[in-house]
Amino acid sequence: MSQAAPFDRVAESLLAFWAEAGVDAMLHDTPIDRIEAGKFVPPKPPEKKPLAAAPAPSRAGGGPDVAGAVAQARQLAAGAQNLEALKAAIAGFDGCSLKFEGARQAVFARGAADAPLLVIGEGPGAEEDARGEPFVGRAGQLLDKMLAAAGLDGRVFITNTVFWRPPGNRTPSALEQAVCQPFLERAIELVSPKMLLLVGAPSAKSMLKRDEGILSLRGRWFEWRSEAGNLELPAMPTLHPAFLLRQPGAKKKAWSDLLTLTERLDRPDRGA
């Protein structure tokens, strides 16, 4: 009769068996009879009632009252006789849901009030939200350098399609852009620029009402027309500086766009 295996070899064999069975941790100090425990059927937990969702602002037919918000924005924008009054009207406007989704403040614009070029981006980011001015982060610093190199320093007015930071820096929705559009159009009317530079796909698609990607739109001339049809300006889409920071090789395309725009802006007939 063979001699019994030493205890350590038995333990090692048992541990190997447990490991192969998928056991990788001891959760209790004392053993539990799982077979006996399995005979006990625990009572069902009480059924939870679903929580009622908080009601959202809506119109009579249901859904957000976008038309009402746009009408209110249009009325407030029309009453602003200068850019400072427009900035105050935007800050006091409650019709855009972005205002209540974590934004610190409204971010309107910066630049020359009589600029021949009006630059329109997507929306404020974290630094813009903190400082209250558009394009002041890394992307904005790159934009400023490019504008200065193209001879446009001090000749631009910079704003966005929406005036509150979207949560998580997501792309603003078409509805959010539509609600802010009357303020943006009033800014264009007050500044009275000669041309628009549309920075990034969300800006270009919103302003031009087109679905193509920015790589297809960039560097081409389009005619922007206001919702009421009383304003019409040449507009050029270009790549967003945030994209250029991620893809430095694309800077050549954006630089070409700026040179084309500047050449037309500086013609003796001033872009006609």
Give the span between the Cα atoms of 122 and 160, in whole angstroms.
Answer: 5
Per-residue pLDDT at 271: 46
Per-residue pLDDT at 268: 83
Give the span between the Cα atoms of 151 and 117, in whole angstroms.
Answer: 12
Given a contact cutoff of 8 angstroms between Cβ atoms, the answer to whether 211 and 205 are in contact is yes
Per-residue pLDDT at 35: 63
Which structure tokens are listed for 158? 């910079």
Q: Provide the β-strand partners of residue 232.
A: 225
Given a contact cutoff of 8 angstroms between Cβ atoms, the answer to whether 234 and 222 are in contact is yes
Q: pLDDT: is 11 or 251 the higher one?
A: 251
Confidence of residue 65 (pLDDT cuts 50, 70, 90): confident
Sequence-separated (6 or more) residues with CB below 8 Å from residue 79:
85, 89
| Domains of the chain, each with CATH number or no CATH | 66-266 (3.40.470.10)
Within 13 Å and on the Cβ side, how many CA atoms surround 5?
8
Give 25-31's long-range contacts (Cβ < 8 A, gap of 24+): none
Per-residue pLDDT at 51: 39
- Residue carrying the six token digits 């929306």: 123
- Residue carrying the six token digits 């019994």: 4
Per-residue pLDDT at 16: 62
Q: Which of 195, 14, 178, 189 is nearest to 98 (CA)?
A: 178
Per-residue pLDDT at 1: 47
Given a contact cutoff of 8 angstroms between Cβ atoms, the answer to whether 56 and 65 are in contact is no
- What letter would DSSP give residue 250? G
pLDDT at 133 over 90: yes
Per-residue pLDDT at 53: 36
Q: pLDDT: is 230 or 53 the higher one?
A: 230
pLDDT at 170 over 60: yes
Average the pLDDT over 179-188 and give the result.
98
Give the span between the Cα atoms of 224 and 222, in whole angstroms.
Answer: 6
Q: Provide the β-strand partners of residue 222.
A: 235
What pLDDT digit, counting tens, does each position of 218-262 carry? 999 999 999 989 999 999 999 999 999 999 999 999 999 999 999
Query: What are the start-end ranges of the H helices in the chain?
Result: 7-20, 34-37, 66-79, 83-91, 126-131, 138-149, 174-191, 201-208, 214-217, 241-246, 251-265
Give the span between the Cα atoms of 171 and 167, in whole angstroms.
Answer: 9
